[in-house]
Amino acid sequence: MTAPLALVGACLGWAPYRAAGRVAARVAGEEDVLGTVKLLGGALFLLVAWSVEGALFALRFGAASGVLFFFFAMTTGWIALRWDETFVRARAALRALLVRQGPTRDALVAERRALASEIEAALLAN
């Protein structure tokens, strides 16, 4: 039911979110502050983008519509974020399920056994 709203939120927020990531990579001098710069830059870029979008909407449809659009953009952005988080968790769960079953699991078990044999042989050789 919220998928269309998530899609709208993703469309409204994709460009400023990506721009914030690129700017943060250039601005952050140290790797350990990159995440903080991305977070603050993303919040600022999204606020500016939604404000501009709301202002453009207000010019076309009136001030009240612009304010409503601004809050609509924020809400759909939050819904898009929740969808992304859910999708990431679902993908990780599916990947874990696939690893635990079938040929992937069998290949990993065989690889681990071969590695354990090599380690044992190396330890006994010394």
The whole-number pLDDT of residue 92 equals 85
Q: In the predicted model, is pLDDT for residue 101 greater than 90?
A: no
Residue range 51-78: average pLDDT? 95
Domain that holds residue 8: 3-125
- CA 74 vs CA 33, 79, 80, 111, 120: distances in Å: 26, 9, 10, 48, 58
Closest by Cα among 5, 4, 77 to 47: 77
Q: What percentage of the chain exceeds 70 in pLDDT?
A: 97
Region of residue 28 (left: phi > 0; alpha: psi -120 to 50; beta: else): beta
As a whole number, the mean pLDDT across the chain is 89
Structural domains counted in the chain: 1
CA torsion angle 71 73 78 80 (round to 10):
160
